Amino acid sequence: MEQDMNRPDRLEQVRAALDTVTDPEIDESVTALEFISRVEVNDDNDVCVEFRLPTFWCAPNFAFMMASDMRDAVTEIDWVRSISVRLLDHFSADLINRGIALKQDFRDAFPGETDDDLESVRLKFLGKAFERRQELLMRYLLGIGFTAEWMTRISLQDLMGLSLDSEGARLRTLYIFAWRRLRPERPDADLAFVALNEDPLEPSQLPNYLRKIGGVRRNAEYNGLICRSLLAERKAEMAGVSD
Amino acid sequence: MFTTKNGEKIFVIDSHIALWDGSPANQRNIHGEEFINCFYGYHKISPKEYYWPREKFEKYSEADLIKDLFEEGYVDMAIFQPAYLGDFYKEGFGNLKRNWALIQQHPDRLIGNGWWDPRNGEGGLEQLEREAEMYKLKGVKLYTAEWHGNSKGYKLSDPWAQRYLQKSIELGIKNIHVHKGPTILPLNRDAFDVADVDDAASSFPDLNFIVEHCGLPRLDDFCWIATQEPNVYAGLAVASALIHTRPRYFAEIISELLYWLGADRILFGSDYAIWRPKWIIEQFMDLELSEDLAAEANHTLSLEVKKKIMAENCARLYDINIAKQCARLGLPIVEEPVGKDAGVGVA
């Protein structure tokens, strides 16, 4: 009885955990991108998550990253007894699903087809997320009147103390999340806005710098809009077949 | 031919078209089915009134192509960029023989490019020789992400690819159209890497490398390479289709390309039959860069710039004399351009 009452709540908790998982190339959550096709929690608190990507060939490394992030995010919920994550309709689905179930390293899931673990790719795309979020936040702050001089001087703590409207606060949260993931050991007194290689920014060079990192956003945006369009058509096709 | 609101006639060369057969009868396996499904997903970026039913999209006729390009689509000349995909389709997705048959009916309008695949080794080089002669090839379309037995893609820097590039020069094939799709091995890499184009472009300065889809989704890497290598060009296919659903985004892409490459190295392509050129050309000819983008690009999207993108740049690569071509096609004569712009905005 108590479990029945909790069920919707538990589904919500699983969904919230999945919200924190992003597609590394698009830097948006797998839920916002509508990759998740099914979430179930049974009476014994076993969780099942199924997801589908926009194409049959989406890069297996990113698929593997997302699947293992989903598994890890849901595992962190205290009441979860087991978690099964399944990728559907993908040319490498079997290898990926087995690798995720066995908690394999990517190298072991695809023996002979990789020469390193996914960590370097993961780090590279975390850096891209950092730049994309930084550009959006800095352009926003410039737009509401903050100066380049001021932005290149303030600390993360100063940034957190700013009073911003909801859009500004949203961009700030996303940025700080990436900032902390990239350099978890750094104090909040460090500069809020630095280049990815940690170099400080020159106020006079800021327009050029923003143009440069704007490229990262444009690529992600392209991926996002193509993915959404392909996934919508793929779902329509699947629905047509099952009708 | 496109006529502007002021009555000016604009010659149009569509540098990226196809005549494909993705129908179930030609599909070799599930990959063939998934591939055409994926294309159909792209197709749905079109304005709704331009949607085709799935069956027609899988296999359309020669008559459709002629009508959609030359009768309704403002296109005066077009270039086939065939994707063979022999591991997915029995007779190939694109087919040189079928293209050639149509070219012979419309020799003043159609140009047929070929393809090669370095994984075919010596046999492939001989095949290229035969096809270069048979089909009078001036260009090839390369699909580096193509599956081939156990291989899931190749790079232009591979030793065999270098041999094919060398052979292309010998055969008078000077335009190398590269589709940078996501080659997926080794699996742990960032799969859209365009660095191999850089390598090939500097090793083969006599060849022109037209990067289709301007390297999206690695536009920044592509622009960087293109500023280093004067023989690298941007093909607008795919990017141009975003103009309908995302005009601001498309304008951003164009302004980036203008800033980094200048106006002389951008080629229009519709990627027919994923999209029909009619609506893309109408919207492109209507497009103006907003003030902020024009300032960033250091260019406006003037009529002069549009004429370069729509035909003049491609005409240079394929030795097309636009005025003579107009005469042949019975069109009002468009004056020859004065020359390349002297590198305005080219870094």
Question: Which residues of chain B are within 8 Å of residue A237 when distances are taken between CB atoms?
Answer: 37, 40
| Domains of chain B and CATH, by start | 1-112+236-347 (3.20.20), 143-232 (no CATH)
Strands A46-52 and B13-17: unpaired
Token digits for A229?
Answer: 């369009």
Contacts of A106 (CB under 8 A, 6+ apart): A61, A64, A99, A114, A117, A118, B187, B188
CB B313 within 8 A of CB B307: no
Which residue matches tokens 């993108």? B309
The pTM score is: 0.89
pLDDT in tens, B82-135: 999 999 999 999 999 999 999 999 999 999 999 999 999 999 999 999 999 999
DSSP A147-171: -HHHHTT-BHHHHHH----HHHHHH
Q: What fold characterizes domain A2-117? A: GMP Synthetase; Chain A, domain 3 (3.30.300)
Measured distance CA(B91)–CA(B79) in Å, rounded: 21
Report whether pLDDT(B218) > 80.
Answer: yes
Measured distance CA(A10)–CA(A12) in Å, rounded: 5
CB B283 within 8 A of CB B251: no
Chain A from 192 to 231: CB within 8 A of any B CB: 211-212, 215-216, 218-223, 225-226, 229-231
What are the Cα distances from residue B42, in Å, to B13, B72, B238, B242?
A: 22, 21, 9, 10
Alpha carbon of A10: minimum distance to chain B alpha carbons (Å)? 34
As to burial, measured by CB atoms within 10 angstroms (0-12 exposed, 13-18 middle, 19+ buried), residue A112 is exposed
Measured distance CA(A88)–CA(A48) in Å, rounded: 13
Question: Which residues of chain A are within 8 Å of residue B31 when distances are taken between CB atoms?
Answer: 56, 91
Q: Where in chain A is the domain with CATH 3.30.300.130?
A: 2-117
Residue A73: CB atoms within 10 Å: 20
Report whether pLDDT(B179) > 50.
Answer: yes
Alpha carbon of A55: minimum distance to chain B alpha carbons (Å)? 6
A–B interface: beta-carbon pairs under 8 A: 98
- Can you name the residues that pair with B178 across neighbouring β-strands? B142, B211
Which residue matches tokens 């689509």? B73
Report whether pLDDT(B226) > 80.
Answer: yes
Question: Which residues of chain A are within 8 Å of residue B37 when distances are taken between CB atoms?
Answer: 56, 233-234, 237
CB B249 within 8 A of CB B282: no
What type of residue is A67?
Answer: A
Residue B281: CB atoms within 10 Å: 23
The segments of chain A whose pLDDT lies below 50 read 1-3, 242-243
Predicted pLDDT at B337? 62
- When mean pLDDT is compared across A138-142, B9-13, B185-189, the lowest value belongs to B185-189
Mean pLDDT of B324-334: 91
Predicted pLDDT at A1? 43
Measured distance CA(B307)–CA(B124) in Å, rounded: 38
